[in-house]
């Protein structure tokens, strides 16, 4: 069972807990042959606050912040794109990836390592795009900057906060 492997407990323990969650209306399940597919019950009244709590405690913000805060050359860092939009309560499907903007001079290989570690911890692809401060600060009509700043952004590291 995938859940049992992911969390390091026995299959019977997972089955018992899934039964409890299903009885409480927190998850829905579909049976296909001998498989039991389980997903969050997103229509539940408790889903939004539980999802917010999980995102704050185990989600991308604390994981990415911890990984990026000591990277030399990071001036600022943000999550943008679909994950930031869902975080801002914009409707849409659950994001399959997390887009991160790093403004600074951090080494690209080091940022690739951060993305790989974050992807493994979060169970979804993390893509980091670095933009040099001189390019970001220029008063130009950069299409990428215009698109990113016109949509929700979640601050990971504010200017002057990093190493």
How does pLDDT run across 57-84, given as a tens digit for each residue?
A: 678 999 999 999 999 999 999 999 999 9
Question: Is 75 among the domain residues?
Answer: yes
Judge contact between 107 and 132, C-beta under 8 A: no
Q: Is the domain of 151 the same as that of 90?
A: yes
Question: Is 21 among the domain residues?
Answer: yes
The predicted pLDDT at position 83 comes to: 92
Q: Is the domain of 25 the same as that of 55?
A: no
Instruction: Average the pLDDT over 143-160 and give the result.
Output: 93
Judge contact between 46 and 121, C-beta under 8 A: no
Calpha distance 47→12 (Å, rounded) = 25
CATH (domain of 141): 3.30.460.10
Look at residue 5 and tell me whether its pLDDT is greater than 90.
no
**pTM greater than the 0.75 cutoff:** no
Q: At what angle do helices 47-58 and 60-68 cross, to 10 degrees?
A: 10
Instruction: Average the pLDDT over 105-116 and give the result.
Output: 97
Instruction: Average the pLDDT over 145-160 and give the result.
Output: 93
What separation in angstroms does the CA of 9 have from each of 22, 28, 59, 123?
19, 21, 21, 18
Q: Is the domain of 118 the same as that of 144?
A: yes
**110 band by pLDDT with thresholds 50, 70 and 90:** very high
Q: Is the domain of 82 the same as that of 128?
A: yes
- Write out the residue range of the structural domain in which residue 8 sits: 2-40
Q: Is the domain of 15 the same as that of 52?
A: no
Domain count, the chain: 2
């Amino acid at each position: 069972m995938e859940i049992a492997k992911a969390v390091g407990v026995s299959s019977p323990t997972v089955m018992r807990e899934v039964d409890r969650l299903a009885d409480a209306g927190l998850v829905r399940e579909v049976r296909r042959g001998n498989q039991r597919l389980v997903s969050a019950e997103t229509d539940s009244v408790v889903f939004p606050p539980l999802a917010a709590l999980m995102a704050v405690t185990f989600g991308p913000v604390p994981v990415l912040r911890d990984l990026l805060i000591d990277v030399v050359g990071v001036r600022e860092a943000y999550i943008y794109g679909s994950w930031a939009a869902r975080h801002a309560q914009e409707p849409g499907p659950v994001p399959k990836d997390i887009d991160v903007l790093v403004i600074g001079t951090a080494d690209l290989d080091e940022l690739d390592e951060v993305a790989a570690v974050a992807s493994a911890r979060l169970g979804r692809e993390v893509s980091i795009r670095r933009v040099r401060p001189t390019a970001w600060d220029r008063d130009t009509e950069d299409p990428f900057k215009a698109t990113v700043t016109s949509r929700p952004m979640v601050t990971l590291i504010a200017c002057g906060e990093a190493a």
